[in-house]
Amino acid sequence: MVRAFRPQHRSKGNVMTHADTATPRPRRRMRNRILLGILLVAMVGLKTNLTVVDETERAAVFFFGDPVRNLDEPGVYLTPFWQTVTVMDNRYRLYDSNPSEIITADKKTVVTDDFTLWRIGDPTKFIQAVGTPASALKRIDDDVFSQLRRSFGARNYEDIVVNDREAIIATVTDRAGRTLATISIDVAMVLTNRVELPPENKQAVYTRMSAERLQQAQQYRSEGEAARCTESSVTFFNAIPGGNLFRRFFYTKPLTLGVFLVL
Amino acid sequence: MTFRDNHTKPDEGFEGIEQKILSEWPKYLLRAVLALGLIFAVLNSWYTVDKDEEATVRRFGAHIATTGPGLHFMIPFVDKVQNTSVTTVHRIEIGFRTTSVEDNTPQYAASSEEAEMLTADDNIANIDFVVQYRSSDAAKWQFSVMDPEKTLNLMAQAAMRLIIGRSDFDRAATIGKAEIQDEVRDVLQAYSDSVETGAQIVSVQLQDVQPPAPVIEAFKDVVTAREERETLVQVANRHANRVLPQARGEAAQITNSANAYSSERVAEAMGDVARFNEVLVKYQASPEVTAQRLIFETQEKVLRGQTIVVDPSEGGLLKFFNIDGSGIPTATQK
């Protein structure tokens, strides 16, 4: 482009010799304009006939709806303007579902919240079977949740929470992955980021935890009371005749002793 | 202006310049555009990578190089460069958020939905923790996962719930913390590697393992009760410490006097034995005399100071009344 305009530039320096340059000027201007036009057309042509596929992307090429090929590697591809190219982000995407209640085999209810990491497998098949990433979410939700419900429903609460969660989740990933692979959704992992009890059950757990702790507290208090009673009963009953008999009786019954002392 | 122009360039007036601009404006415009383009290209032909960063270079979309800190050249418009901080340690807060820092003291807000976790012994624990990570592989970080931060956050929750679900509440709250942290870090790293986020998990730190809010009072009460027990035991011990030495002293005193009494009795008995042996010798020499003497000596000892009534006749009790004026018989002798 720069070279194309150099003659123009030179001609400006020779303004004095107007007569010399007067004859070639229109022809040069013509040539320049043609060159410029070709360049512009070439640029627009390149733009419409080339596809750049990024490291994070994959693309599918169609000819009036007829699949031509996939562009599976990053780089520049020659795609004539009559072909339609759909470029899609091929990175792992997050599908974070809403929490939902599932009933386990032993008829307990757990609230689970799961998420799925997935990406587009074969772009052509994906476009044909699913369409857009947004519509893929619905399919993922259907399949993953039904597998999750099936796997959790077949196992006991203890297995889900304590013993075997990894294996259960692996099964869900495997099964949902196999189904979704047929529509070119590539599932990397399904994980439950939360497994909880429903609010009503939580309240019961709180109450039980409280009761457990209060019982522990009561034990400590009684032990302390016992230590104090042993001491006070010794002093108190040693002072009165026949006190040993009373002491043996009251030793194990601090409360009775308390009442006795108050009286 | 026209005046001066007329003098210097007689054949080109103001109208001439105007005409020239009008006829050749595409040329000037093109030159301006070209100059701007050139400046833009030159400005875009280098990039800098900061001291904590790595940059990926994509030429026509394909990843061709990852460069370290410094000044680097690139082909303008063709190369795409993206920097990622690879040495900075990022934090993910789970179960709480640092809302602000006032006077160098961070303020926190709880997020109980994230924090509540089921433990193996069917309890619920409120667990706050922090994940520290580095996006150590810039290329994976940029090209593999769409939202790596959010992904790591959810994975961290899943990993922590998995491990907490296997351990008892008391272990999580006390001695098991270090182990749990290590296990969660390993699990999280494995999760992260399986989708190549390029993150390196530096550490998982349990900040706070608490019982849920409605149960906290009961937990505190246990501590109070334990302290109360200790207090009572101490009080009892204090009393014991006061009474026991005194009792021990008394015991020693009693033992001493008992010992003294015992030796006294033994000495006395030994004396008696000696005396008896003496008498025995005499008795063996002349048994009748000695026996008679012993009877007399004993009668003397026994009957001394007694009122003795000797009554040879058979009579009733009646005649013994008022002999010594007391009305009560002090001794009877037949």
A2-13 and A25-49 helices, crossing angle to 10°:
160
Which pLDDT belongs to residue A238? 56
Instruction: Inform me whether the C-beta atom of residue B230 falls under 8 Å from chain A C-beta atoms.
Output: yes
- Classify residue B143 as exposed, middle or buried by CB count within 10 Å of its CB (0-12, 13-18, 19+): buried
Interchain CB distance below 8 Å, B191 and A188: no
The DSSP symbol for B167 reads S
Which pLDDT belongs to residue B242? 85
Cβ atoms B115, B166 nearer than 8 A: no
Cβ atoms B159, B205 nearer than 8 A: no
Q: Which residues contact B272 (CB under 8 A, 6 or more apart)?
A: none
Domain match, A98 and A183 both: yes
Kind and range of the H or E run holding A111: strand A109-120
Which pLDDT belongs to residue A260? 60
Instruction: Inform me whether the C-beta atom of residue B233 falls under 8 Å from chain A C-beta atoms.
Output: yes
The shortest CB-CB distance from B122 to any of A89, A205, A231 is to A205
Which pLDDT belongs to residue A6? 46
Give the integer Cα–Cα distance in Å for A254 and A223.
Answer: 10
Q: Which residue of B has its CA nearest to A119?
A: B145
Q: State what percent of residues in chain B have pLDDT above 90.
A: 43
Least confident window among A144-158, A219-233, B96-110, B284-298: A219-233
Which pLDDT belongs to residue B77? 83
Give the integer Cα–Cα distance in Å for A154 and A171.
Answer: 12
Least confident window among A73-77, A192-196, A238-242, B96-100: A238-242
Which pLDDT belongs to residue A86? 92
Domain boundaries, chain B: 2-43, 46-85, 90-211, 213-303
Q: Which residues contact A184 (CB under 8 A, 6 or more apart)?
A: A120, A121, A122, A123, A125, A126, A129, A130
Min Cα–Cα distance to chain B from A57, Å: 9
Per-residue pLDDT tens digits for B91-117: 999 988 888 888 778 888 877 778 889
Give the integer Cα–Cα distance in Å for A63 and B172.
Answer: 61
Supply A191's token pair: 């994980």
Kind and range of the H or E run holding B272: helix B213-285
Which pLDDT belongs to residue B102? 80
Domain B90-211, CATH class in plain words: alpha beta
pLDDT higher at A248 or B211: B211
Interchain CB distance below 8 Å, B31 and A5: yes
Mean pLDDT, chain B, integer: 85
Question: What average pLDDT does this structure show over B1-21?
Answer: 58
Q: State what percent of residues in chain A have pLDDT above 90.
A: 39
Per-residue pLDDT tens digits for A199-228: 888 888 899 988 988 888 888 888 888 877
Determine the Cα angle at B176 with ends B174 and B178, to 5°: 110
Give the integer Cα–Cα distance in Å for B38 and A249.
Answer: 106
Determine the structural domain holding residue A241 and report its residue range. Answer: 201-262
Instruction: Inform me whether the C-beta atom of residue B118 falls under 8 Å from chain A C-beta atoms.
Output: yes
Supply A102's token pair: 């599932």
Which pLDDT belongs to residue B20? 76
Give the integer Cα–Cα distance in Å for A125 and A119.
Answer: 13
Cβ atoms B144, B198 nearer than 8 A: yes
Contacts A177 to B, Cβ<8 Å: none
Domain match, A121 and A134 both: yes
Q: Look at chain B and count its residues.
A: 334
Which pLDDT belongs to residue B240? 84
Least confident window among A10-19, A162-171, B168-177, B265-274: A10-19
- Classify residue B1 as exposed, middle or buried by CB count within 10 Å of its CB (0-12, 13-18, 19+): exposed
Cβ atoms A70, A58 nearer than 8 A: yes
Interchain CB distance below 8 Å, A194 and B161: yes
Question: What average pLDDT does this structure show over B127-137?
Answer: 94
Domain match, A29 and A99 both: no
Residue B333 has pLDDT above 70, yes or no: no
Q: Which residue of A has its CA nearest to B94?
A: A193
Instruction: Inform me whether the C-beta atom of residue B158 falls under 8 Å from chain A C-beta atoms.
Output: yes
Interchain CB distance below 8 Å, B58 and A220: no
Min Cα–Cα distance to chain A from B2, Å: 20
Tell me the three state secondary structure of residue B165: coil
> Do the bridges between strand A84-89 and strand A93-96 make them parallel or antiparallel, or are there none, so unpaired?
unpaired
Interchain CB distance below 8 Å, A91 and B143: yes
Residue B40, φ and ψ in degrees, nearest 5 = -65, -40
Residue A244 has pLDDT above 70, yes or no: no
Which pLDDT belongs to residue B316? 60
Residue B193 has pLDDT above 90, yes or no: yes
Largest CA distance in chain B: 201
Contacts A165 to B, Cβ<8 Å: 162, 165
Cα–chain center distance at A21: 71
Question: What average pLDDT does this structure show over B195-222?
Answer: 90
Which pLDDT belongs to residue B145? 94
Which pLDDT belongs to residue A35? 87
Which pLDDT belongs to residue A45? 81
Residue B231 has pLDDT above 70, yes or no: yes
Question: According to the per-residue pLDDT averaged within each range, which of A10-14, B188-192, B216-220 is highest?
Answer: B188-192
Which pLDDT belongs to residue B6? 46
Interchain CB distance below 8 Å, B62 and A214: no
Q: State what percent of residues in chain A have pLDDT above 70.
A: 77
Q: What domain count does chain A have?
A: 3
Residue B60, φ and ψ in degrees, nearest 5 = 50, 45
Give the integer Cα–Cα distance in Å for B70 and B53.
Answer: 10
pLDDT higher at A62 or B326: A62
- Boundary-marking domain end, from A55, A74, A89: A89
Instruction: Inform me whether the C-beta atom of residue B268 falls under 8 Å from chain A C-beta atoms.
Output: no
Helix, strand, coil percentages in chain B from 3-state DSSP, rounded to 5: 55, 20, 25
Question: According to the per-residue pLDDT averaged within each range, which of A217-231, A246-260, B183-197 is highest?
Answer: B183-197
Q: What is the CATH number of the domain that holds A181?
A: 3.30.479.30
- Boundary-marking domain end, from A149, A179, A197: A197
DSSP for B43-91, please give it: HTTEEEE-TTEEEEEEETTEEEEEE-SEEEE--TTTEEEEEEESSSPEE
Supply B46's token pair: 């280098």
pLDDT higher at B253 or A2: B253
Which pLDDT belongs to residue B2? 45
Per-residue pLDDT band for A114 (boundaries 50, 70, 90) equals very high
Determine the Cα angle at A225 with ends A223 and A229, to 5°: 120
Instruction: Report which of A229, A224, A219 is spatially closest to residue A257, judged by C-alpha positions.
Output: A229
- Boundary-marking domain end, from A89, A121, A156: A89
Contacts B58 to A, Cβ<8 Å: 54-55, 74
Least confident window among A35-39, A228-232, B51-55: A228-232
Question: What average pLDDT does this structure show over B126-138?
Answer: 94
Which pLDDT belongs to residue A24? 56
Instruction: Count CB pairs under 8 A between chains A and B.
Output: 171
- Classify residue A169 as exposed, middle or buried by CB count within 10 Å of its CB (0-12, 13-18, 19+): buried
Supply B170's token pair: 């008391």
Interchain CB distance below 8 Å, A235 and B217: no
Tell me the three state secondary structure of residue B275: helix
Give the integer Cα–Cα distance in Å for B208 and B218.
Answer: 18
pLDDT higher at A239 or A153: A153
Which pLDDT belongs to residue A230? 67
Contacts A162 to B, Cβ<8 Å: 120, 165-166
Cβ atoms A153, A103 nearer than 8 A: yes
Question: What average pLDDT does this structure show over B144-166?
Answer: 93
Min Cα–Cα distance to chain A from B256, Å: 24
Is the entire prediction scored with pTM above 0.95?
A: no
Interchain CB distance below 8 Å, A74 and B63: yes
Domain match, A250 and A222 both: yes
Instruction: Inform me whether the C-beta atom of residue B78 falls under 8 Å from chain A C-beta atoms.
Output: no
Least confident window among A95-109, A187-201, B12-26, B153-167: B12-26
Interface predicted TM-score (ipTM) of this complex, two decimals: 0.73
Determine the Cα angle at A11 with ends A8 and A17, to 5°: 160
Give the integer Cα–Cα distance in Å for B117 and A256.
Answer: 44
Helix, strand, coil percentages in chain A from 3-state DSSP, rounded to 5: 60, 25, 20
Min Cα–Cα distance to chain A from B198, Å: 13
Question: What average pLDDT does this structure show over A41-64?
Answer: 88
Question: What average pLDDT does this structure show over B115-122?
Answer: 89
Question: What average pLDDT does this structure show over B76-99?
Answer: 90
Within 10 angstroms of residue A148's Cβ, the number of other Cβ atoms is: 24
Per-residue pLDDT band for B5 (boundaries 50, 70, 90) equals very low
Domain match, A172 and A245 both: no
